[in-house]
A and B are shown apart, each in its own frame.
Chain A
Amino acid sequence: MIKDFILMNGYGIFVWTSFVITFLVCVIFYYKTLKTLKKYEREFVKEIEELSNEQKKIVLSNSEIASRIISSQNKTI
């Protein structure tokens, strides 16, 4: 039964190749997108850390996005 499922009456090679290619491309694309997002988050936090204390206070009080990114980065650390 498993053999039939894999071979699919001789069409298995075409069906499995199509599904594997689609799956692999989707996984690679997901990880690449996630990696870029994390890279930007890290760089953003790093740039905030480089600001003076006063500037940092202003940025964090004005931008909810900045505070959320910093707190999420702290969680991952």
Chain B
Amino acid sequence: MFSLFYNSNIFIWIERIIKFINSIFFIFLLIGLSFALIFSPPDYLQGDSVRIMYVHVPAAWIGLSSFSLIALLSILHFIFKIKNLPLITKSVAPIGLMFTCIAIVTGSIWGQPTWGTFWAWDARITSMVILALFYFILMLTHKFISDENKANKIACVVAVLGSINIPIIKYSVEWWSTLHQPASIKITGTSTIHPSMLMPLLFMFFVLILYCALIFLMKYKTEIIRIKKKNLKRYD
């Protein structure tokens, strides 16, 4: 059973899953975009500008959950020293940074028609910028520290420190008086969003998760090849 976790088996599965996602992705993307841009209704207050939500909210969710995952895996690596975990965190970080930046930019664009401004140093927006900075530091650590053990240790500290920011982002709209609206979707409790908007939103989230899986697997495959390439040097 544990043979499943050998790098060669992981590598074979990665190739299969990449092929599978590539074959279905565009169909799902087309369905998601059709619902987001055509079939979902406009908001009674915000009108059609609410459609920005279908990229902004999934991007923000991915940005937040990626960092939570990185922090969790970093702690697990720190305790159990599982060698594949830093490879995973290293592959997830650029995806998280990209989606955090997308959430900030699309949020800023959405701010103009709804708040009358592109930017405000609001608690939610500022904490998202801090999250992007943590991602950036995490990636710089791996880029500029050549000793991998040292880089992993520093990245672990950065991830744990950065994880303090996650609940701040989540509850910023409740703790402080902000321009940003409170959460409309609650895991525990009743969501205030209508199902005709919730379903396309969840579908777009699923489409972007598929995209993330594709990028993650390609990056993870690159990391495995990089390690294999390094091991080849033993034969020189």
Contact = CB atoms under 8 A, between A and B. Distances in A.
B48 A15 contact: yes
Nearest to A29: B98
A19 to B, nearest CB: 6
A30 B106 contact: no
Contacts, number: 104
B235 A59 contact: yes
A33 B110 contact: no
Contacts of B110: 14, 18
Given A9-B47, A9-B48, A15-B49, A41 B214 contact: no
B228 A34 contact: no
Contact of A19 (B15, B55, B219): B55
B119 interface: no
Interface stretch (B5-13, B142-150, B157-165, B178-186): B5-13
Interface residues of A, number: 37
Interface residues of B, number: 42
Contacts of A65: 7-8, 11, 224-225, 228
Interface in B194-221: 211, 214-215, 218-219, 221
B191 interface: no
Contacts of A77: none
Contacts of A15: 37, 48-49, 51-52
A74 B56 CA distance: 42
A47 B232 contact: yes
Nearest to B11: A65
Given A14-B109, A19-B55, A34-B218, A43 B47 contact: no
